[in-house]
């Protein structure tokens, strides 16, 4: 899929649907907040949420005292909504509009969180670019939390084809530069009462 059509797809999603109407909706991201809290990350750590959409993850982390937060999404509309929804947070979250398949970070991150963006990258050049930027832009001994559809999960998301992964695939893809700290399979219940199976990996930069 060409970049312009990817942009158009996601702009249409965020222009036409409320956040609680999308399959990846979570009212309160308790599971992911706990994953991060269990890592005992310093409150001043540089944290980025990849494909933030309209997620409340960064707001929840802000409430826990983390204050160097960034949210990245391909959709300008989702970022515009976030700037309004979370305008009360001080210090403000750094919002970034970018396509992860071409994103070139300008800083390094202590924690890189990605819930269901990486699995949209189906071309080798996109996957290799992603591997390169996480390896080069997560600090030494920093953390990488990655969630993708598992081999038992859907073949598509939001009408787009995805690439499924299991734990072995994640280790094969990222194991050269990361240690695997924890992996598990979880089930996400969508607002439509369907179940999506995810694999979740917590990795640490070597």
Residue 179 tokens, joined = 């240690």
Distance of alpha carbon 60 from alpha carbon 73, whole angstroms:
18
CA angle 35, 37, 38 (to 5 degrees): 65
pTM of the model: 0.94
Highest mean pLDDT among 4-8, 19-23, 151-155: 151-155
Three-state SS string over the chain comes to CCHHHHHHHHHHHHHHCCHHHCCCCCCCCHHHHHHHHCCCCCCCCCEEEECCCCCCHHHHHHHCCCCCEEEEECCHHHHHHHHHHCCCCCCCCEEEECCCCCCCCCCCEEEEEEECCHHHCCCHHHHHHHHHHHHHHEEEEEEEEEEEECCCCCCEECCEECCCCCHHHHHHHHCCCEEEEEEEEEEEECCCCCEEEEEEEEEEEC
Distance of alpha carbon 175 from alpha carbon 76, whole angstroms:
33
pLDDT for 130 beyond 80: yes
Distance of alpha carbon 76 from alpha carbon 183, whole angstroms:
32
Share of the chain above pLDDT 90, in %: 93
Share of the chain above pLDDT 70, in %: 98
**Mean pLDDT score, 4-27:** 89
Q: What is the pLDDT of residues 159-170, one digit of tens each?
A: 999 999 999 999
pLDDT for 1 beyond 50: no
Asked if the 3-205 domain carries CATH number 3.30.1330.10, the reply is no
Three-state SS string over 116-142 comes to CCHHHCCCHHHHHHHHHHHHHHEEEEE
């Amino acid at each position: 899929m060409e970049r312009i059509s990817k942009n158009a797809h996601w702009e249409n999603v965020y222009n036409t649907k409320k956040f609680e109407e999308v399959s990846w909706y979570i009212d309160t991201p308790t599971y992911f907040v706990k994953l991060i809290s269990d890592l005992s990350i310093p409150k001043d750590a540089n944290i980025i949420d990849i494909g933030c959409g309209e997620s409340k993850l960064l707001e929840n982390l802000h409430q826990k005292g983390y204050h160097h937060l960034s949210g990245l999404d391909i959709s300008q509309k989702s970022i515009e909504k976030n700037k309004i929804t979370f305008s009360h947070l001080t210090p403000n979250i750094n919002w970034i509009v970018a396509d992860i398949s071409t994103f070139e970070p300008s800083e390094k991150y202590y924690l890189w969180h990605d819930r269901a963006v990486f699995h949209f990258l189906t071309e080798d050049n996109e996957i290799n670019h992603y591997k390169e930027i996480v390896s080069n832009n997560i600090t030494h001994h920093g953390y990488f939390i990655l969630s993708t559809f598992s081999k038992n999960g859907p073949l598509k998301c939001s009408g787009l084809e995805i690439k499924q992964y299991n734990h072995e695939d994640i280790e094969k893809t990222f194991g050269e530069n990361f240690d695997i700290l924890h992996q598990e399979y979880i089930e996400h219940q969508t607002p439509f009462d369907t179940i999506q199976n995810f694999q979740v990996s917590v990795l640490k930069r070597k």
